[in-house]
């Protein structure tokens, strides 16, 4: 069974219906999953680089679980990427520690699907906006897997979606992610 490392980043996970459900379903699955909540582990971004690199070395698959924040990853995840995927470890002439490991972005998106297109108000698709993350995977010699993402994952009472809609979308997202992970085993 593959070792799956989930790097979870959410600046306010306690108030996230979707991300909590996805992570809970991963924990309850039969997969060999280690979940690291980097916002809780490193609230000041003082990341234990050696410990994080050790987790990556043991992993066969890395899942980046996060809400789409200003067309990118949350700040804690960006800091984690910048510090942990260092020269000599993840890239460079001797930086091959991640070579051949799978990476899967798992993303919750607040906005509707139609807003992420050339004619939508965001002008670009999620896949287009993820190009820097995809390039990071290529630079580090990881195997890029198509992202699992779900739109409409924000709940604002009496304004945007219902709690039931968001929970249903999150459960569906978790099932799709688990199926993808099982297919890699």
Query: What element of type H or E holds 3?
Result: strand 3-8
User: Assign residue 101 a region: left if phi > 0, alpha if psi is -120 to 50, beta otherwise?
Assistant: beta
Tell me how far apart the alpha carbons of residues 95 and 72 are, in angstroms, rounded to a whole number.
Answer: 25
pLDDT digits (tens, 9 = 90+) for 146-172: 999 999 999 888 888 889 999 999 999
Query: Is the separation of the CB atoms in 88 and 94 below 8 Å?
Result: yes
**Three-class SS state of 74:** coil
What is the model's pLDDT at position 161?
A: 87
What is the model's pLDDT at position 185?
A: 72
Give one DSSP letter per residue of 48-59, joined into a string.
-HHHHHHHHHH-
The whole-chain average pLDDT of the chain stands at 96
Tell me how far apart the alpha carbons of residues 15 and 11 are, in angstroms, rounded to a whole number.
Answer: 9
pLDDT digits (tens, 9 = 90+) for 50-76: 999 999 999 999 999 999 999 999 999
Distance, C-alpha 117 to centroid of its chain: 21
What is the model's pLDDT at position 147?
A: 98
pLDDT digits (tens, 9 = 90+) for 102-115: 999 999 999 999 99
DSSP state at residue 165: H
Q: In which band, very low, low, confident or very high, does the pLDDT at 26 lie, cut at 50, 70 and 90?
A: very high
Q: Tokens standing for 98?
A: 């991640």
Structural domains in the chain, CATH included, are: 3-184 (3.40.50.360)
DSSP state at residue 16: -
149: closest CA among 163, 132, 129, 135?
Answer: 129
What is the model's pLDDT at position 133?
A: 98
Query: Is the separation of the CB atoms in 117 and 126 below 8 Å?
Result: no
What is the model's pLDDT at position 59?
A: 99
pLDDT at 15 over 90: no
What is the model's pLDDT at position 126?
A: 97
Q: In which band, very low, low, confident or very high, does the pLDDT at 122 lie, cut at 50, 70 and 90?
A: very high
pLDDT at 183 over 80: yes
């Amino acid at each position: 069974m593959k070792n799956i490392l989930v790097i979870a980043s959410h600046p306010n996970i306690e108030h996230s219906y979707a991300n909590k459900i996805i992570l809970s379903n991963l924990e309850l699955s039969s997969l060999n999953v280690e979940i690291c909540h980097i916002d809780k582990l490193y609230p000041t971004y003082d990341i234990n680089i050696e410990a994080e690199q050790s987790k990556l070395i043991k992993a066969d698959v890395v899942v980046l679980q996060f809400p789409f924040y200003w067309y990118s990853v949350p700040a804690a995840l960006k800091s984690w990427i910048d510090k942990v995927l260092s020269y000599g470890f993840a890239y460079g002439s001797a930086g091959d520690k991640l070579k051949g490991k799978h990476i899967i972005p798992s993303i919750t998106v607040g906005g509707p699907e139609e807003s992420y297109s050339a004619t939508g108000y965001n002008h670009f698709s999620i896949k287009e906006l993820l190009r820097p993350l995809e390039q990071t995977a290529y630079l580090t010699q990881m195997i890029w897997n198509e992202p699992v993402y779900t739109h409409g994952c924000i709940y604002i009472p009496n304004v945007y979606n219902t709690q039931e809609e968001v929970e249903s979308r999150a459960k569906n997202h978790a099932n799709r992610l688990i199926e993808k992970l099982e297919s890699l085993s």
